[in-house]
Amino acid sequence: MKSIILAFLLSTLFSTGVAYGEDKKAGENLQKLITTALSSNPEITASEARWRMYTNRIAQAKSLDDPMLMLKIQNGIVSDPFNFSRDPMTQKVIGISQQLPFWGKRDLKAEVAAKEAESFRWQVEERKLELARMVKETYWQIYFIDRSLQITEKNLGIMDDFIALAETRYSVGQGAQQDVLKAQVEKSKMIDMKISQEQQRRSLIAALNTLLARPSDTPVGPIADPAITPATLSAVDLQRLATEKRPQFKSLAAQIEKGQAGHKLAEKEFYPDVNLSFEYMQRNRAMEDEGLDMYSAGITFNLPVQRERRRAMLAESNSEVSMASAELRMLENSIGGGIADLLAQLERRRKVAELYKSGIIPQAEQTLESTVIGYRVGKADILMLLDSRVTLFNYEREYYDSLADYQMRLAQLEALVGQELPK
């Protein structure tokens, strides 16, 4: 009987274990999830609408002010207001005027608006990168929880076998009742852990569905084990790639160009704008006057005497350029440090995962097998048996934690660089 239980226990331990790095079952497609998020997430929709809003300001900035049409009666007689033939000075006047900004102002205003819109355009792309990163991170967190649940389920089966083995030894007088109770307590701890893991999975699924803008209870299918390969690009290559591809660089560059155009526009404000006007005055014959029609044409200028306001405009544009330039340098430094840190973490996780897969976990399995045999023949106690099981359980979870963390760090690196990296 004891031999049958031992054989069943060892079979459970090694035949129902998770296949490390070899799960090929088809399931959720990460790229499809990212595509869904980018097309459905309301934050992206709002960002794109804001970009289009600023794009529509370009034509507004470049347009002239509407011309002014003027209709009036000039020199009318108060006592006889609608008699236009009583006095030769009474005139019916129609006029038009147009405000013309100083040469180059309209083009500069349009350039300022265009650069501002371009900055928002790249911010949309930056937000897409962040959203893709968040989807990837949540996806791999679900993967880790799923693998943890599988390991927990396997260990619950092992604990049932441990309890049966302890009860058998106790029934034949070779073990203590405390062994049975300790094994049962350990199983209860595993059940508690399983409940916690199931709650975590529901929370992560809700978070992923929120990013995808779909009902929070939409199920998420199985996730296949990822392949881990060393990074093929150096830190220098990744830094260069980030400078070329990262939307935030382009957004800040557009802000700098906007500030420079704003500076030129502020300089133009020291020159006057022009107002052109033309009036036609129709007169009736009155008394001995022939009532000849008249016209009036004129040009007026504003006097740019408010120098303090214009100097403040220059200072504002200079500050905008300085601010965006400083943010650009900060981004370069941040990306450089982030790339170095993430490459180091990726390498560590890759090596740890390989170590667990090829060395630590097989050794822990052999230790547990040996302890089970030792417990059966009375050369090991229940605490040694339970400790060996917990050790293997933790190593298995740490292996999958390394796989998931590697993928999450890779997602962070891709968001930092601005594009997906070659696998």
Report the alpha-carbon distance of residue 89 to residue 93 in Å, rounded.
12
N-to-C CA span, the chain: 52
Report the alpha-carbon distance of residue 273 to residue 406 in Å, rounded.
62
Q: Considering only CA atoms, which of 69, 96, 74 is closest in space to residue 283?
A: 74
Give per-residue burial for 319-355: e unless 16+ CB within 10 Å, then b.
ebbeebeeebeebbeebbebbeebbebbeebbebbee
- In one-letter notation, the amino acid at residue 287 is M
> Does residue 23 have a pLDDT over 80?
no
Q: In this structure, which CATH number among 1.20.1600.10, 3.30.210.10, 1.25.40.390, 3.40.50.300 belongs to the domain 2-64+101-269+304-417?
A: 1.20.1600.10
> Does residue 203 have a pLDDT over 90?
yes
Place of tokens 């011309």: 67
Report the alpha-carbon distance of residue 411 to residue 388 in Å, rounded.
35
Per residue in 97-123, pLDDT (tens digit) is 999 999 999 999 999 999 999 999 999
Place of tokens 């002239």: 64
Q: Of 19-28, 90-99, 388-397, where does mean pLDDT reach its minimum?
A: 19-28
What DSSP letter does each residue of 187-198 carry, written as one string? HHHHHHHHHHHH
Domain parsing of the chain, residue ranges: 2-64+101-269+304-417, 66-100+273-303
Residue 379: per-residue pLDDT? 75
Q: Of 73-82, 124-133, 198-207, where does mean pLDDT reach its minimum?
A: 73-82
Q: How confident is the model at residue 70 (pLDDT cuts 50, 70, 90)?
A: very high
Per residue in 276-291, pLDDT (tens digit) is 999 999 988 877 788 8
Residue 22: per-residue pLDDT? 45
Q: Over range 403-409, report the average pLDDT.
A: 94
Residue 15: per-residue pLDDT? 47
Q: Are 350 and 271 in contact (CB under 8 A)?
A: no
> Does residue 136 have a pLDDT over 90?
yes
